[in-house]
């Protein structure tokens, strides 16, 4: 085994036929920082043409998180103190990592054995093999803090069946491992206790897909399947007001719960997310998707809802964000257009 680099935040190593990208911030549920993004990008580029590395494994060290997202405190500090300059750089480089993973010529295996949110979705969904376990908890909860499901979320969520992506983007609902497998967000379901053996076989040069299929077990029932028809019906429109109106007409406990959930989200970024997924679904190149998401991120980062949402939900934990605009009706088409508008040519996002 060769340890390429080991820091407090990442363990980069090669073992047999595999390169390992091991997230190592357990106290922060392995949330991504700029140094982590840089370390992963550098390793992937170094391994790209290295014949000794046949596959790349993304996993985490101890703790209940695979990766709980990005460095939200850093982004908020940027929004408040440097006009979003350092935050935009963070997004720019993170999106390059997402794109590198999406286009990587060797099989990437992401072990989503724990909380997988935001940035964690961004580094796992591009992987050819995405392994869920009984510990998986998947979500894109960004609308609750005035952000949107970025890191390629528009691409991945818009390609789910039955408007499930729109439901996940707006509500931030959490899926367990069985639900991820059912939805197509995971390719395999393994018990946690089988992961070490799976990695060992890949290290010894066995084909990852065959290894994962051999060790897969029958997953429990996907609970969200029971709500699939209601999701397809009520989240059918790309108009946020239509979705709210549809839920209002349903007297079920489920509809009331989802309405209550949506009432806590940023109206601005809910509308952003719906348009993002609608536009992502029409794209054929992941780079075009990331270019669009970088435009959105550049604007949303310094809009009032982001700093306020992080304050209310993450810092003060009062869960009382004062959104601006307050209601969906006040979020104008002109505002949404301005968030999606092209950037100056020298500021547009580009892949590595």
Contact present, 331 and 323 (Cβ < 8 Å): no
Cα separation, 223 vs 287, in Å, equals: 34
Helix orientation angle between 240-248 and 267-282, rounded to the nearest 10 degrees: 110
Helix orientation angle between 267-282 and 286-300, rounded to the nearest 10 degrees: 160
DSSP category for residue 250: -
Report the candidate in 108, 9, 106, 12 with the shortest Cα–Cα distance to residue 67.
9
Q: Mind telling me the catalytic residues? A: 70, 119, 142, 150
CA distances 328 to 27, 241, 244, 269, 325, Å, are 36, 7, 10, 10, 8
SS (H, E, C) 146-167: CCCCCCCHHHHHHCCCCCHHHH
CA distances 250 to 67, 244, 246, 257, 320, Å, are 36, 10, 7, 11, 26
Other CB atoms closer than 10 Å to residue 131's CB: what's the count?
31
Distance of CA 229 to the CA centre of its chain: 24
Report the candidate in 102, 193, 134, 154 with the shortest Cα–Cα distance to residue 292.
154
Other CB atoms closer than 10 Å to residue 345's CB: what's the count?
6
């Amino acid at each position: 085994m060769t340890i390429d680099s080991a820091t407090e935040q990442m363990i980069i190593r090669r073992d047999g036929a595999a390169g390992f990208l091991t997230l190592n911030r357990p106290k922060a549920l392995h949330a991504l920082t700029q140094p982590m993004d840089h370390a992963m990008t550098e390793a992937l580029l170094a391994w790209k043409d290295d014949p000794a590395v046949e596959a790349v494994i993304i996993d985490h060290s101890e703790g209940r998180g695979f990766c709980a997202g990005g460095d939200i405190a850093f982004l908020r500090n940027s929004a408040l103190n440097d006009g979003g300059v350092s935050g935009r750089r963070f997004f720019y480089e993170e999106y390059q990592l997402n794109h590198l993973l999406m286009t990587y010529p060797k099989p990437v295996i992401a072990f989503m054995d724990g909380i997988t949110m935001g940035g964690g979705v961004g580094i796992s969904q591009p992987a050819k093999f995405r392994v869920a376990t009984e510990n998986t908890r998947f979500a894109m909860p960004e609308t609750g803090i005035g952000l949107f499901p970025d890191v390629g979320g528009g691409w991945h969520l818009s390609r789910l069946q039955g408007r499930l992506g729109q439901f996940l983007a707006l509500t931030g609902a959490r899926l367990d491992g069985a639900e991820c497998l059912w939805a197509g967000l995971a390719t395999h379901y393994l018990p946690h206790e089988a992961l070490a053996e799976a990695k060992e076989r890949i290290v010894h040069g066995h084909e990852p897909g065959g290894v994962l299929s051999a060790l897969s077990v029958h997953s429990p029932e996907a609970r969200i399947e029971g709500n699939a028809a209601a999701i397809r019906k009520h989240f059918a429109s790309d108009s946020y007001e239509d979705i709210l109106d549809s839920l209002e007409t349903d007297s079920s406990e489920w509809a009331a719960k989802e309405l209550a959930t949506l009432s806590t989200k940023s109206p601005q970024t809910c509308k952003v997310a719906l348009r993002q997924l609608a536009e992502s679904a029409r794209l054929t190149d992941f780079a075009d998707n990331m270019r669009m998401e970088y435009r959105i991120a550049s604007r949303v980062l310094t809009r009032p809802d982001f700093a306020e949402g992080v304050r209310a939900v993450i810092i003060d934990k009062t869960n009382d964000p004062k959104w601006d605009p307050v209601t969906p009706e006040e979020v104008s088409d002109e505002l949404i257009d301005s968030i999606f508008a092209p950037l100056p040519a020298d500021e547009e996002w580009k892949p590595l």
